[in-house]
Amino acid sequence: MKKTALIIIAVLGILLLRAAEDLPSWGDPQSPASVHLSNYYLEESYEETSVPNIVTAVLADYRSYDTLFETVVIFCAGITVLLILRRTPRRWPKVISPRPNRPGADIILQTAARLLVPMMQLFALYVVAHGHHSPGGGFQGGVILGASLILLALSYDIEMALHRFKEKFVLLFSAGGVLLYAAIGLVCLYLGRNFLAYGAWADLLGISELAAHSHGMLGVEIGVAITVLCIMFSLYIDLASGGDLDEGL
Amino acid sequence: MEDLFNYIIGRYNYWAAIILLLIGLYGMIAKNNLLKKVIGMTIFQAAIILFYVSIGDKRGATIPILDHGHGTHQAIEAAAYANPLPHVLMLTAIVVGVSTLGVALAILQKIYRVHGTIEEDEILETIDQ
Amino acid sequence: MSLEQHAIIIILAPLLGALVISLIGGLHRRVAYLTLVAALAVSFSSTIATLSQVAARAAEGPLHYFLGDWQPPYGIELVIDPLNALVLTMVAGVSLLVAIYSKETVRRESPDRLHHYYTLFALLVAGLLGITATGDIFNLYVLTEIAALASYALLASGRGFAYYATFKYIIMGTIGACFYLLGVGYLYIKTGTLNMAEMQAFMTRPALLHSESIRVAFILIMVGLWIKMAFFPLHGWLPNAYTRTSTTTSCLVAPLMTKVSVYVMIRVMFGVFTLPYAYHVMGWNTAVVWLASLAIVAGSIGALAQTNLKRMLTYIIVAEVGYMVGGAWLGNAAGLTGAIYHIISDGLMTACLFMAVGAITFKTGEINLEAMRGVFRRMPVTAAIFVVGGLAMIGIPPTCGFFSKWYLLSGGLAAGHYGFVVALLFSSLVNAVLFFRLFEIGYYPLFDAQSEAGQHDKVVVAEAPLSMLVPMLITAAMILVVGLYTSRIVSGLIEYALPAGLKL
């Protein structure tokens, strides 16, 4: 197997190195990748969407169909892990040995976590809400929100984290986030425009088309954040406890 | 000599991506431990993300967030901002990578429960029996 | 809602179906089942509407649907032309039939978490339909990953050794997808666009035509897709993954996944690259067709060696992938017509056989060749359906399997590639041996068991439930109908799907 692998990577390496000669050098402003679509987005997107963060504008508006399915990928992974891990009868040996019971040993960790978690969540909301103007957006904010719950589960245990955020709601919200995203697009469809054409919201909300684009993006980013939050947490609790949802790591 | 030097330095983003990619691919094919295969997979994906993100760079350009304020509106100089598209694409690839990793780890836990090991040759022995 | 919105409804219906199932499917298993069937029925009726639209204006060019009202190349567009309208109809139709069929099998095989199973079922279909409809090369990657992730979960639903087989598939599938993504990166860096049509327009520039990195991109994308479609010699993961899984999953995944990958290959060859590029600049034709011939021979020989029915069928899939890849690379109109037609007919034949074997396993609890014993007496309808599927696989008129072989053979003869012709004939022969052996086993009852008991004419008919029989009957009927309407399909649709410069 090792020999086959070496042959494969040798062939691939030679191919890729030969191809690299042909590519534009690093940071070349005239490379084809940086002039065609890129310049259009840089020059026009603020006029067309009123969002200064161009990455957000491209992500959530020009290519928002991609982003919808990106959210679906996350959702799909969450359901997949659920389906795989949570079916076995409990007679198999545990993958992760139970942690030693040392009462009081985690006190520093737990106090620190109690202080950190609200800060993290507040910051995450800022990242979601300010994604139009600064680095950030639904995925980033959602991951930070998820991390705050994971921190809780790490410093206490999974049962405690699940007490705060019931598993029923985890599943409900993870589908709900994608549904929110799709619903924003479907309303456009219903109003006679194409799917995800946020301009259709202008009449409904009584705002200009430009503002409708901005609002539409905010809406879908919130949907993304909800799904990412839930699935990150769900992936952690499932993987850390082998699907048993008990104490975990 | 100088040409060669420029050639190597001018494209070292590609060299880095290619080396990482080969390391990852080797791990995925050659390693016996399934967890190491998964690590190889992550390196492989990271290499491709590196490759894409480096496409987006322009010499002397800043992040693609426009300087804006109410009322002040000037023409946008495209050369002053990095290419936003690779960043958007890689956000997707990162998400896909995380999802695949999660699923792979879940399957790995199941393999351990069924076969009692995650070494490939030992698993094949238990299947043959 | 206007007519043009059908294009997006095709993909949205299963996606929304999946979300609804995961929200309320836990209430009762009937809710999950009915939602799935309803969502796929909506999707299927939209594909029919789109197909008729496309057929009506076949000469004028494809339908475009701009997502978010953004003009391509700045936004993403769906492009429906005769080629993918056909594939969309096949995918939506087969998945609808499998969904109906799955009522009893899923209940038996994964009774707990049934709604999660159905959620992933719907997501897989949404992914496959999205792959087929999209006109954006990166969007295709995202949807491939959705289909792949959902299929990992569904394949792992077989328990036991299925997990290891699925793990191998994850590793291979990720390598394939990453190769594709890397190839797209090279294309993007050289062209600066992600829209397939625009990329193709750029591809005629002389600077790109002979560029080393474009050539590497083509190689990477092709190898990535070949891994995904289990093309010889990259097919190692497929038989295990498809055999060890549950009945429903193999009925859904086996007919659809490889066919959609073949479609993507044809799309990339003629919709992103150009016909002269794929056939002349690369200069691979002969090598790839030889590889395809080897795939056919290897798959057929592999199938002969199996005693497990499902495993035998998976090796036949490996051979069938060889048919389609070979046809697409022959470099003439007949071969490509055969490849495209075979995507449709092989989807139907594989679905028919897997469903029939699934029904037999469902009633007998066995999966070996011996499960077939006496099946003509005990399950006459299922056996008849199995015969139709088997005859189509062998290539006997008037089933659709005959016509796809006909086009492929005439393509092989026209190209003067006799190795491919011999491989096709060899595979037909092997299929004949395989299936007639099964028919023979099925025709004779369980002699020893009955003679011992002293009963001769007391045969209990134990047919599969109606929810399984009806979709199987429809599939078997479709095999005949598609076969009988071959000339209409070819002259009305496939002829327009061929790239300019290749006409019948």
Tens digit of each residue's pLDDT, chain C (504 residues): 566 788 899 999 999 999 999 988 778 878 889 999 999 999 999 999 999 888 888 778 888 999 888 888 898 999 998 898 999 999 999 999 999 999 888 888 776 778 888 999 999 999 999 999 999 999 999 999 999 999 998 888 776 788 898 999 999 999 999 999 999 999 999 888 999 999 998 888 888 888 888 999 999 999 999 999 888 888 888 888 888 888 888 899 999 999 999 999 999 998 898 888 888 877 788 889 999 999 999 999 999 988 888 889 999 999 999 999 999 998 888 999 999 999 999 999 999 999 999 998 888 877 787 777 888 888 889 989 999 999 999 988 888 989 999 999 999 999 888 999 999 999 999 999 999 988 888 887 655 555 444 455 556 777 888 888 999 999 999 999 999 998 888 888 888 888 877 755
CB contact under 8 A, B51 and C167: no
Please indicate if any CB of chain A lies within 8 Å of the CB of B56: yes
- Let me know if residue B67 belongs to a domain: no
| Whole-number Cα distances in Å, A151 to A116, A122, A128, C88, C170 | 9, 15, 20, 45, 29
Alpha-carbon distance of C336 to C278, in angstroms, equals 13
Determine which helix (DSSP H) or strand (DSSP E) holds C77, and give its type and residue range.
strand C77-80
pLDDT at B1: 67
Residues of C with CB below 8 A from B86's CB? 188
Q: How confident is the model at residue B69 (pLDDT cuts 50, 70, 90)?
A: low
**For residue B12, what is the nearest residue in chain A, using CA coordinates?**
A26
The two three-digit tokens of residue C292, written as one number: 């395809």
Q: What is the pLDDT, as a whole number, of residue C47?
A: 93
In angstroms, the CA C496 to CA C427 distance is 30
Structure tokens at C307: 């005693």
In the prediction, which pLDDT does C443 show?
80
Chains in contact with B, where contact means 3 or more Cβ–Cβ distances below 8 Å, are A, C
Distance from CA of C145 to the nearest CA of A (A): 7
Q: Pick from A42, A61, A74, A143 the residue to mutate for testing the B interface (most B CBs within 10 Å).
A: A42
Residue A246 tokens read as: 């008990």
Query: Which residues of chain C approach chain B closer than 8 Å at the C-beta?
Result: 138, 141-142, 145, 149, 152-153, 156, 160-161, 163-164, 166-167, 170-171, 174-175, 177-178, 181-182, 185, 188-189, 194
User: Distance from C70 to chain B by nearest Cα, in Å?
Assistant: 15
Where is pLDDT greater, at C26 or A83?
A83
Query: Residue B99 domain-assigned?
Result: yes
Label residues A199-208 b or e (16+ Cβ within 10 Å = b). Answer: bbbbeeeeee
Instruction: Answer yes or no: is pLDDT of B70 > 90.
Output: no
The three-state secondary structure class of A240 is: helix
Write the residue in B28, B86, B103 that is nearest to C152 by C-beta. Answer: B103
pLDDT at A224 over 90: yes
DSSP letters spanning C167-224: HHHHHHHHHHHHHHHHHHHHHHHHH---BHHHHHHHTTSHHHHT-HHHHHHHHHHHHH
Residue B14 lies in a domain: yes
* pLDDT, position A164: 85
Q: Is the ipTM of this complex over 0.90?
A: yes
The CA distance from A148 to A158, in Å, is 13
Give the confidence band of A94 by pLDDT, cuts at 50, 70, 90: low
Give the relative orientation of helices C380-394 and C400-415 as an angle to the nearest 10 degrees. Answer: 10
3-state secondary structure of B32: coil
B–C interface: beta-carbon pairs under 8 A: 66
Range of the domain at B116: 2-60+78-128
Above 70 in pLDDT, residue A103? Answer: no
Contact C182 B48 (CB under 8 A): yes
Confidence at residue C493, expressed as pLDDT on a 0 to 100 scale: 84
* Structure-token match 């002040």, residue found: B72
Of B41, B93, B110, the CB nearest to C171: B41
Q: In this predicted structure, what is the pLDDT of residue B72? A: 52
Tokens of B88: 């958007």
The domain locations on chain C are 284-307+319-504
From chain B, pick out residues whose CB is under 8 angstroms from the CB of A46: 66, 68, 76
Q: Which chains touch A (3 or more CB pairs under 8 A)?
A: B, C
- pLDDT at site A98: 59
Q: Residue A80: its chain B contacts at CB < 8 A? A: 102-103, 106
B108 at interface of C, judged by CB pairs closer than 8 A: yes
The arithmetic mean of pLDDT across residues A49-78, rounded, is 91
Domain count, chain B: 1
Nearest C-alpha neighbor of C143 from the set C214, C228, C72, C62: C228
Instruction: Please report which helix (H) or strand (E) contains residue C403, including its range.
Output: helix C400-415
Q: Is the peptide bond before C398 cis (omega within 30 degrees of 0)?
A: yes
Amino acid at A237: I
CATH number of the domain encompassing residue B95: 1.10.287.3510
Q: Which of A27, A78, A88 sits opposite B113 (nearest CB)?
A: A88
pLDDT recorded at residue A89: 52
Is B36 part of a structural domain of the chain? yes
Please give the residue of chain B at the shortest CA–CA distance from C143.
B96
Q: What is the pLDDT of residue A93?
A: 54
Nearest chain C residue to B17 by CA: give it. Answer: C182
Is B92 in the A-facing interface, judged by CB distances under 8 Å?
yes
Would you call B8 an interface residue with chain A, using a CB distance cutoff of 8 Å? no
The Cα A179–Cα A171 span in angstroms is: 12
Query: Which has more confidence, A249 or C453?
Result: A249
- Do the domain assignments include residue B7? yes
Give residues with Cβ within 8 angstroms of C355, minimum separation 6. Answer: C97, C98, C101, C251, C385, C468, C471, C472, C475
**Is B71 inside a domain boundary?**
no
Task: Say if the Cβ atoms of A42 and B105 lie within 8 Å.
Answer: no
- Using a CB-CB cut-off of 8 Å, the residues of chain C touching A31 are 189, 192
Q: Dihedrals φ, ψ of A174, to 5°?
A: -65, -40
Side chain identity, residue C162: A
Q: Which of C105, C129, C131 lies closest to C117, judged by CA? A: C105
